[in-house]
Amino acid sequence: MSIDAAGLLAWYERERRDLPWRDPAVSAWQILVSEFMLQQTPVVRVLPIWLDWVARWPTPSATAAAGSAEVLRAWGKLGYPRRAMRLHQCAEVIAEHHGDVVPADVETLLTLPGVGSYTARAIACFAYGQWVPVVDTNVRRVVARAVHGLADAASPSPKRDEEEVAALLPNDASTPMFSAALMELGALVCTARAPRCGVCPLSSCAWREAGYPAGTAKPKRVQKYAGTDRQVRGRLLDVLRDSTSPVTRAQLDVVWLSDTAQRDRALDSLLVDGLVEQTRDGRFALCGEGEG
């Protein structure tokens, strides 16, 4: 079974969200920035950060010229701050080795820090209009349901997933819009929880035709957040983002009093990740403080 491209595209024209990075005037770099920010992060939280970001640093070289500490501050509480460091590194590589132009081919894109199988293809497709499959969690879910009649996608397998989606793509200039529409359908209608099948534009869906069978996949264990090292890291970084001068160990210690071993482990991991650095006098700061 294939996907009803005509129905999908008509629905997309009608219902698509008016997201700023979809404006045709937006540069490949700014699309790349949006893709980094959107990794595992809802659109509504990315919007304000992205708007400020591209106004402040519109090009890779402008981003590279900023210090990584300022980049981490601009990232704010978007989450997964290692993405901000990788975005900064990505800007440096593009500025230094690619003439300040985002590469257009998937192979080269895959060499960039923080660019994996999804992001490389999203840039090639949405920024450069290339015929390449773009497979994110939304696309995998839509295909699992509409094509295979399954409630949930199997565990990701990039090569296999991309081959399968490639076979569904239209062989014309509508490919980028088709991929954007598949993702949009997964985000707005064919959602993970409480899908809105009553308003689905697809003329055929294997899952619907099978009577919406429940999923059989074993429930993937959801990772807790409260009490984890990630929460401790978040609190430590919060202190460092709010201070333009290095802070003492004591100023960091107060954010996590219940488990000192865990607190030490979290701080050490931030140092290892290159998000935090220690000054010669033993205080702590965001990495790259004073640069840029």
Active site residues: 35
* Residue 186 binding DNA, by CB under 7 A: yes
| Closer residue to DNA in complex, CB, 123/202 | 123
* Residue 187 binding DNA, by CB under 7 A: yes
Which range binds DNA by CB under 7 A, 1-9, 52-60, 134-142, 143-151? Answer: 134-142
- How far, in Å, CA of 181 to CA of 40, rounded? 19
Residues whose CB is less than 8 angstroms from the CB of residue 87 and which lie 6 or more positions away in sequence, other chains included: 33, 36, 63, 71, 114
* Among 230, 243, 251, 255, contact with DNA (rule: CB under 7 A): 230
* Residue 218 binding DNA, by CB under 7 A: no
- How far, in Å, CA of 201 to CA of 83, rounded? 35
| Closer residue to DNA in complex, CB, 21/53 | 21
| Closer residue to DNA in complex, CB, 135/205 | 135
Where does 147-228 have alpha helices with state H? 158-166, 175-188, 206-209
Task: Pick the closest to residue 286 from 253, 249, 241 (CA basis).
Answer: 241
* Residue 122 binding DNA, by CB under 7 A: yes
* Residue 136 binding DNA, by CB under 7 A: yes
Q: Which residues pair with 286 in a beta bridge?
A: 276
How buried is residue 215: exposed, middle or buried, by Cβ count under 10 Å (0-12/13-18/19+)?
exposed
Site for DNA in 22-61 (CB under 7 A): 22, 34-35, 38-43, 45
State the DSSP code for 21: G
- Binding positions for DNA, rule: CB under 7 A: 19, 21-22, 34-35, 38-43, 45, 77-82, 86, 113-120, 122, 136-138, 155, 157, 183-184, 186-187, 191-194, 219, 221-223, 225, 228-231, 233-235, 237-238, 269
